[in-house]
Every structure is written in structure tokens, then in C-alpha cells.
A and B are shown apart, each in its own frame.
Chain A
Amino acid sequence: MVGKLMNVYRSLHHGIQMLCLVLICSLLACKQTATCYEPQNVALRGGFYYYDVDQKLTDTLLENAVLIFGEGNNYFQQLKQNNRFSFPLSQSKDTVSFVFQADSSSTASDQLDTLQLSYNRELTFISTACGFQHFFQLQGITYSKHVIDSVIIFTPAITNDINKQHLQIVLKD
């Protein structure tokens, strides 16, 4: 009986130790829920291309171009020796416009193209800490053709997957 009671007390003691450990872990876990760890960057991603002599799509580095976007066109993305771009779409509208300026040093109208994207929005729950984000489904694109030859919607679904390219902008050679 004494031996068993000793075992009982030992077990209870281990139980209390374990309980303390679990309490500390759960308090830490509670703190972690306040931080958003899931990827939230739901952005349109694209690249610049041209048709080579065999009419094959080949990517091209831009010397010194600029993308202008955002509410009131007050955001700029400089594309220097670069052929990739990304920017977020509006979470409250179903269309956005942005401007492609082929040469940042020139504001001549023949160096500018305006593009208008239309899309559907799907409200998606990310997590308690991150809240909601809209995912998008591209519906269409209209654009002027000063320096742009054509635009291809490559992947219509825009999610928080950063490895997908959604638009291919083909420039005139």
C-alpha cells in the first residue's frame, strides 16, 4: 500500500509538472494567435515579353520603365533591368487601371500605355490573426497600343500563391 501510495504521489507530482509545462505552452500559443503568419500578399504578377523572329514569346529586360498604379495613380514601380512586376488589385472595386511608361525619362504620349483590368472578387478567410483577403478571377483587359503589342491573361486566378504569373505583356519589337 505504501509503495502504491508513493507511486500515486509520484504520478501526481509528474502530473503537476506536466500541467505547468502545458500551461506555459498554452499561454505562449495564445500569444501566437495574435500574429499573422499566413501569406497575405494577393498581388497581380506579370512579365514583359516580345515576339522573336520565329514568333516565339521571349522575355525581355526593360531598360528603365515605370508602372503607375493605385488610388489617384500615386504609386510607382520602377523596372530597371527587370522584366517582372507585381502590384495589388483593389479590394473594393472590380476594375483597376494602371499605366505603363516605357521610358521613365519620357512622358511623351507615345511612350505611355494605359491598361484596364476587370475581375471578380472572392472574399477568402485567411486566419483569425490575418482576417480576410479578396482573391481575384481576371475577366478581361483593355489597353492602348503605343508600346504594347498585346496582353495575355496567363493565369486568371489570383491568390496568395506567389509562384504564379497572371499577365504576360508583349511589347512591340
Chain B
Amino acid sequence: MLCCLLVCISSQAFAQVEDSLSTTSQKPTKVKFKPFTYFRVGTDITKWVADIAQQKYFTFEVQADATFRKNLYLATELGYANSKVQNEVLAFDANNIFLSFGVDKTILHKEQESDFDNAFIGIRYGMSLVNRSAANYVIQDPVWGNTSGTIVARNFFAHWLELNAGFRLEVKKNIFAGWNVRFRTFINPDNFKQLPPAYLAGYGRADKNTAMGYNFYILYGFGKR
């Protein structure tokens, strides 16, 4: 089997040498890749499901990417979330907007230049402005009596790094569906040591220094393929 493969490869190689010898006068026509010719924009539908399934937070996320190099896309995501912590001992709201940008590299061989079905791995830098309301707390103490108080509201900046991997499929012309999984870690976790929001758009549960996430995007593509 291996011998057959070697024979095939070598015969193809010889054929290519012969071709190049017979056409030495002709310059090879190399197609130059033009960046920013095809774009995709879409939204994460898992967030819609999450919004319906629970009452603790509302969020939406959109994504856009553009061809940049062969096998490389520039990608950006932005989104918003508001969340609520309300239990016997603590009550506060938080909202945030986020922007992340980075690159996705496709890892499967393209059969045609217009073929956009592919698996990818990517990296992102994410940043967010977080607005937390004043927090009311109660310390329950049956022995000496309950105590309550308020922690003042706070606005702060958060940023994180993210690795992702996933798959995208063109289900109809210019309509894409795809999933990915994400691993994120805060660059400034100290901001979340006290009163972390129940949900941080672009990141997930903010009470953890590292978070796993997922997306299921529906995207629309446009531009020159």
C-alpha cells in the first residue's frame, strides 16, 4: 500500500517536472490572495435559548469575520448582557458590553477556493465595561441578630484571553451554521473577587478565573467568493 502511494507520488512529481520543463518559457500564474473580499455576520442562537430557559440574565452576541489571508480570518464579536443576583443574603444587578477580536485559522484543506466549509482554531482578546449596581446584603445570625448593609455601585474594566475551536458549514449559499467551544481566562481577575456578576457577556460566569463557553452561530456571508 505504502509502495503504491510512493509510486503514485513519484510519478506525479515526475509528471510535474516534465510539465515545468516543457513550459519553462511560461511564467507560473500565481493567483494573489485579496484580503477583505468575503464577510460574514451572524448571531449566537444558544444565547436566545439561554434567555428563554432562565430568568437570571439576558444576553445577546453577534459575530463578524472577514477573509484576511489564505486560511486566515479576522474575527470580531460584540455583545451585551444584564444579570441579576437575588437570593436571601445578596441582591445586585450588573450589565456589561464587550468587544473581542482575533483570528481564526482554518485547518482543513479547501477543495475549491469558494469552499467555506471548514474547521478552525482561533485566538481572541476580549474586553468589557462592567457596571455593577449597589449591592444589598444580609448576614444571617440567629445568635446575635441579623445584620444588613450596602456595598456602593462600581464600574470597572475587564479583559481576557480566549482560545477557541469549532466548525462552520455553509448550509445554503451564503448561509452558515457553526459551533465552537471556547476557553477563556481573565487578565485582571482581581476585579471579580468581590460581587462577580452572575453572567458576563463574552465570558460567561464571572465568579471563575477561567471559563469554558460555547456558541452556535448562524451567519450570513456576502462579498466576492
Is B5's beta carbon under 8 Å from chain A?
no
A127 CA to B192 CA, complexed, in Å: 11
CB atoms of A93 and B144 under 8 A apart: yes
Q: Among B12-20, B21-29, B68-76, B133-141, which stretch is in contact with chain A? A: B133-141
A1 B144 Cβ-Cβ under 8 A = no
Tally of chain B residues near chain A (CB < 8 A): 39
For the complex, give the distance between the alpha carbons of A71 and B141 in Å.
Answer: 10
Contact with B along A1-31 (1 / 0, CB 8 A): 1001100110110011011001100110110
Q: Given known contacts A27-B53, A128-B207, is B117 in contact with A4 (CB within 8 Å)?
A: yes
Q: Which chain B residues lie closer than 8 Å to A154 at the CB level?
A: none
* Residue A70 lies at the interface, judged by CB distance under 8 Å to chain B: yes
Name the A residues within 8 Å of B90 (CB-CB).
Answer: 128, 131-132
Q: In the complex, which range does the number of interface residues on chain A fall in?
A: 35 or more
Interface string of A82-105 (1 = CB under 8 A from B): 000001111111001000000000
Q: Which residues of B contact A87 (CB under 8 A)?
A: 143
Q: Is B46 an interface residue (CB 8 A)?
A: yes
Given contacts A11-B119, A23-B49, contact A88 B194 (CB under 8 A): no
CB distance from A38 to the nearest CB of B (A): 11
Having A15-B178, A91-B141, A92-B145, one finds 5 other A-B pairs with CB under 8 Å, namely A18-B181, A18-B214, A91-B144, A91-B147, A128-B85
Q: What 5 A-B pairs have minimum CB-CB distances, sorted nearest first?
A: A131-B89, A15-B179, A90-B144, A91-B147, A125-B194
- Offer 30 A-B interface pairs, CB within 8 angstroms, sorted by A: A4-B117, A8-B167, A8-B169, A11-B167, A12-B169, A12-B177, A15-B166, A27-B54, A30-B54, A33-B198, A33-B205, A33-B207, A70-B143, A70-B144, A71-B144, A87-B143, A88-B143, A90-B141, A90-B143, A91-B139, A92-B144, A128-B85, A128-B195, A131-B89, A131-B137, A131-B139, A132-B90, A132-B149, A133-B139, A134-B147
